[in-house]
Amino acid sequence: MLEVLQESGAVYRHQGVFDRSELTVTYSVNWAEHEVRVRSGQREIRDEFLLAALLSIPEDRLGPVDRRFERVLRKAESAPSASVIADPDGGIWAQRRARPVVDVVNIEIASSTLTRGCSVAHQWAGYGPRTVHASHSASTFELTEASHYGIGLVLSSGEHLLTPATYVAQRWSSARWRFSEMVYGQFRELLG
């Protein structure tokens, strides 16, 4: 179920399975980019190698393409994501058109214990703030460890024991963009 968290319709939340992890993700949507994707018929981009190729080319001008990305950018599937031209000297030049549509605000993991929840939360380090929803409290050691790794804890009673650490992205990686695209794909399905 898709929840709208702001009246402006810019922040959403839904539960889904991402790389075999059941998560509840809160995210903002770039509606301008969403409209571009809808008009061009482009859905989510799940190919992480293509996303890495897109990250390697400029968004504001043509730039030379690294040889390792030439093959993926020449494929028909990449046409909506990048403008590609052949260089008379042999290589190719490209300009990125695709941008991330979704920015992850929070990742929530439901678990019976903090330890199990943290195990899943560690897999999502670097993707956004992480919060475990556990059915019962944890030991001082478990709370200290979760706090050290910046993982929040909310009990099933609604009591907030730990706030997740403030997340500051160090860089936009192809893995993080892929996760954003998975969220976007599910968002599109839930919109109908």
Classify burial at 54, counting beta carbons within 10 Å of its beta carbon; exposed 0-12, middle 13-18, buried 19 or more: buried
Per-residue pLDDT tens over the stretch 94-149: 999 999 999 999 999 999 989 999 999 999 999 999 999 998 888 999 999 999 99
> Which residues fall within 8 angstroms of residue 29, CB to CB, at 6 or more apart?
9, 10, 11, 12, 101, 102, 187
* Token couple for 108: 């929530």
The pTM score is: 0.90
Q: Where are the alpha helices (DSSP H) in the chain?
A: 31-40, 48-55, 67-74, 114-123, 140-148, 174-191
* Token couple for 21: 């992890």
Q: Write the DSSP string, 102-115.
A: EEEEEEEEEESSHH
> Which residues fall within 8 angstroms of residue 138, CB to CB, at 6 or more apart?
113, 114, 115, 146, 153, 161
Percent of the chain residues past pLDDT 90, beyond the cut: 80
Per-residue pLDDT tens over the stretch 39-53: 988 999 999 999 999
- CA-based radius of gyration for the chain: 19
Query: Strands, DSSP E only, in 1-97?
Result: 3-4, 11-18, 21-29, 63-64, 82-86, 92-96
Rounded CA gap, 36 and 81, in Å? 11
